[in-house]
Structure 1
Amino acid sequence: MLLRSVETGVVGAPMAGGPTTPELVAAVGDAGGLGILAGGYLTAPQLAAAIADVWDATSRPFGVNLFVPAQANAYAVGPGELTGAERADAVAAYRDTLGEEARSVGAEPGEPRAGDDDDWERKLDLVVRERVPLVSFTFGLPSTAVLGELRRAGAETLMTVTDIDEARAALDAGVDALCVQGTCAGGHRGTLDPVKQPSEADLVDLVAAVRAETDVPIVAAGGVSSAERAAEVRAAGADAVQVGTALLLTPEAGTGLAYRRALGDPAHERTAVTRAYSGRLARGLETEFVRRHDAHAPAAYPEVHHVTVPLRRASAAVDRPDLLALWAGTGWRTAQAVPAATVVAGLAG
C-alpha cells in the first residue's frame, strides 16, 4: 500500500486556505515523503488546476484531501448540534458582534451560506477522473458507496479520526487507512461529529489504542515536531507521521507574510482551540480576536467560516495578523524557514 511505501515515513498535511501549495506537495514527495493537496475551500476547477500543477511538478505519488459536508456525513452525529432557526439566530447574533473589527480592516462580515457542500460531488468526480493515488477525508465519514467508487478507480482512502469510536466507524465503512489526529494538532480538529469534544489523549496512547484494533496503515498527526517524537509514535504503531505546522515557514508553502511573521513573534505565548473563526474547533495561536470571541462563537460550520472569511482576507491584504486565523500546533516554535526537503529529512531522522 502507498502509505507503507513512503520512504521517509513523513506525510505533508493538507493545510487548506493557502499554505499547502502544489509546490509544497511536490517538494515533500521529491524528498521521499508523501504530499497531500488541500481540496477544502477550493472549487472543482481550482482543485483541477492544482492537481495538474502537481502532476507537472513531480512524478511522485500524492494525495488530495476533501472536506466531507454535513449532508454527506455517514457518521451518526450525537445530540447537541444547533439546527434550523436556532442555528440561524446564533450565527446572526455572532455576526453582529464582528462588525466593528471587520470595518477596522475595511471589510464587512460575510453572509452565512448555510448548506454549502464545498463542491463535494464535482470534487469526487474529479479525483476519480484524474486517478489521484490517495484521497483523504476530514470533517465527516463518506458513504460506503463513495469509498467503493474510489477503490474501483484505484485510489487508496485515508480517513481522519480523533478517537477509537471514530476509528471503528471508519473501518466498518471500509476505509483503507486512518489518519489518527491528536490533541496537539494545528488547524481544525477532524472530529466526525462537529459538536463533539475531541479526545485529549496523548497521540502515542491514541495510536496504540487504534493499532490494537486494526492492521490497516496508520498516519499519526498532531504536534510531531522532532525526529524523536516521530520515532515515539511510530513505535506505538504508526506507519507514518503527518506534519503541517513544521512546513508553514518553508519557501514552498503559501503561508502569507503576516502569518509567517506572527509565527515568529514572541508576543504569542500559546495556542488555543477555538470555534471563533469557523464554527468548528481548531487550534491556532491565541490572539485577541480568539480571547474576545471564543465563548460566543456557535458550533455552526460552515456558516461561521463564511462570516469571518472577509475579515481574514482583509487582514491579510493589509499585512496585519490581527484578524487572521493563525493555525498552528503546539510545537509551532520549532518551525523554521528552511526548504521542505530539510523538514522531511529532519523528521525522518
Structure 2
Amino acid sequence: MSILDTLKTPVIVAPMAGGPSTPALVNAAAEAGSLGFLAGGVMPLEQLKQELSEVKGVFGVNLFRPQTDAPKPSDIDELAGLLSSAFRQFGLDEPTVPTPDLSNGWEAKFEAVLAAKPAVFSCTFGIFSAEEFARIKATGIEAWVTVTNPEDALAAQKAGANALVVQGPEAGGHRSTWSIEVEPDERDLKTLLAAVKQAGVYLPLIAAGGLSTSADVAAILEAGASAASCGSAFLLSDEAGTSSLNREILDAAPALGLESVSSRAFSGRYARGVETRFTRSNEGLPPLYPYLNPMITSLRKVAGSAGNWDYAYCLVGVGLESIAKGSAKQILESLTPSALG
C-alpha cells in the first residue's frame, strides 16, 4: 500500500525550496490529512536537521540530486560582465564568481533524511542510485522521483521508484530536467501525463504544474493522476515562509499584468516565476546554474529594499490570480475536488 492510499485528500503540498516550505506548513498538511514536504535542496545541513526535528506526523523530504555538468567558464565570465553596470548603478562592488557545491551537500543530507524516516523521500534534477534506492526502501521509506518526460519516467520506474511526480511546464520553481543543458518538454501537464502512461509507466503518478483551483485538481485526477501536487497555491498561506517582498509581488502581480514565465534568467536553469525586466531582457541566457543566484543576490537585495523589482526572484506557477491567502488547512479544503459541490 502506498502512502497515497492513506491520505484524506488527493492534494499534496509540494516542496518549495528557498524558504516557502516550513515545518509549520508540513505539519499543517499532516494535520489536515495531506502530505507536505520539507525542501532541503539548497538548505544548509544544520538547518535541514533542525527542520527535520520540528516536523510531526506524516511528511516527505525533497533533495536536489548532485549536478554532474557545469556551466562553461566563458559563460560565467560573460554573466559577470552583464551584471556589472547594474551593480555600479546600485553602488555595489563588481559581481564575484562563487565556488558552489554542485552536490548541494547530498551525501550528508541523504544520511540525515534516512535517519529522520519520513514517509517519502523524493529527488529533483535526477534519480537515486541503485544503492540509494535500496537503502531508502530498507528503511521503510517510499522513493519518489520527479520527471518531466516519458523517457525519464521509464528510467525511474525501471530503477525502482515507488511513485513519480510528473512535472509539467506550468509548475512554479525549477523544472526538474536531469541536466542543465537539456531543453525541457513543453507539452502541457495533461498531455505529458498521458504520454507518460502511454509509454508504459504503471506507477502511481503525482501531477504537478499550475494546479491552483479545485477544478484544476479534479481535471488532473480525471486524467489519471493518483494525486495533485500543489506548491504555488500555498505561497501566501499563513504557514509558508514566503518572504515579505515576494508576498507583496504575488499580491500585486495580477493587477499589474505581470505573468509567470519560464526562463533561465532566474537561476541559470529553467524555472518559472513572476516576470521581471531582467528576465525579459535575458531570455537567451545559457545554462548558468547554480552560479547566477549567488552572483546576483546582493543586487536583488539592494534593489528590492528600494522597491525595485527588476531583479526579483519570485518563483511561482501559472494561475497567479488564483493564489489565495489563509491557513494551509483552508487552502487544502478549497483545492479538494469536493469543494466544487
How far apart in 1 are the matches of 2:76 and 2:209? 29
Tell me whether 1:62 sits opposite 2:49 in the alignment: no
How far apart in 2 are the matches of 1:222 and 1:206? 11
Distance 1:16 1:272, change over 3 A: same
Residues 189 and 281, structure 1, Cα contact 8 Å, conserved in 2:
yes
AA partner of residue 238 (structure 2) = P
Tell me whether 1:328 sits opposite 2:316 in the alignment: yes
Aligned partner of 2:14 in structure 1 is 13
AA partner of residue 260 (structure 1) = R
Residues 145 and 156, structure 2, Cα contact 8 Å, conserved in 1:
yes
Aligned partner of 2:268 in structure 1 is 279
Once the two structures are superposed, what CA deviation does each residue of 1:10-40 show, in whole Å capped at 9, x if it has no partner?
1111111111111111112212211011001
Pairwise mapping of residues 189-268 of structure 1 onto structure 2 (< 5 A)?
189-212=175-198, 213-265=200-252, 266-268=255-257
Q: CA deviation at 1:309?
A: 3.0
When structure 1 is superposed on structure 2, of 172-181 and 187-196 the one drifting more is 187-196
AA partner of residue 237 (structure 2) = T
Tell me whether 1:116 sits opposite 2:105 in the alignment: no
1:64 alignment partner, SS class: strand
Pairwise mapping of residues 160-171 of structure 1 onto structure 2 (< 5 A)?
160-171=146-157
How far apart in 2 are the matches of 1:312 and 1:30? 36
Count of matched residue pairs:
332
Aligned partner of 2:297 in structure 1 is 309
Tell me whether 1:294 sits opposite 2:315 in the alignment: no
Distance 1:254 1:105, change over 3 A: farther
AA partner of residue 45 (structure 1) = E
Distance 1:240 1:110, change over 3 A: farther
How far apart in 2 are the matches of 1:333 and 1:9? 22
1:328 alignment partner, SS class: coil
How far apart in 2 are the matches of 1:23 and 1:8? 19
How far apart in 1 are the matches of 2:306 and 2:51? 26
Identity %: 36
Once the two structures are superposed, what CA deviation does each residue of 1:213-233 show, in whole Å capped at 9, x if it has no partner?
233221100011111111111
Residues 94 and 298, structure 1, Cα contact 8 Å, conserved in 2:
no
How far apart in 2 are the matches of 1:16 and 1:340? 17
Aligned partner of 1:101 in structure 2 is 86
Mind listing any 5+ residue stretches in structure 1 that lack a counterpart? 72-80
How far apart in 2 are the matches of 1:305 and 1:127? 26
Larger RCO of the pair (alpha carbons < 8 Å, separation 6+): 1
AA partner of residue 207 (structure 1) = L
When structure 1 is superposed on structure 2, of 203-212 and 167-176 the one drifting more is 203-212
Residues 148 and 177, structure 2, Cα contact 8 Å, conserved in 1:
yes
AA partner of residue 6 (structure 2) = S
Residues 112 and 302, structure 1, Cα contact 8 Å, conserved in 2:
no
Aligned partner of 1:76 in structure 2 is none
Q: CA deviation at 1:293?
A: 2.4
2:279 alignment partner, SS class: helix
Residues 40 and 63, structure 2, Cα contact 8 Å, conserved in 1:
yes
Distance 1:129 1:315, change over 3 A: farther
Aligned partner of 1:130 in structure 2 is 116
Residues 259 and 321, structure 1, Cα contact 8 Å, conserved in 2:
no
Question: What TM-score do the two structures reach when normalised by structure 2?
Answer: 0.91
Residues 276 and 309, structure 2, Cα contact 8 Å, conserved in 1:
no
Q: CA deviation at 1:82?
A: 6.5
Residues 113 and 306, structure 1, Cα contact 8 Å, conserved in 2:
no
Aligned partner of 2:144 in structure 1 is 158
How far apart in 2 are the matches of 1:62 and 1:105? 42
Residues 312 and 324, structure 1, Cα contact 8 Å, conserved in 2:
yes
Distance 1:31 1:103, change over 3 A: farther
Mind listing any 5+ residue stretches in structure 2 that lack a counterpart? none
When structure 1 is superposed on structure 2, of 40-49 and 211-220 the one drifting more is 211-220
Once the two structures are superposed, what CA deviation does each residue of 1:201-243 show, in whole Å capped at 9, x if it has no partner?
2211222232342332211000111111111111121111011
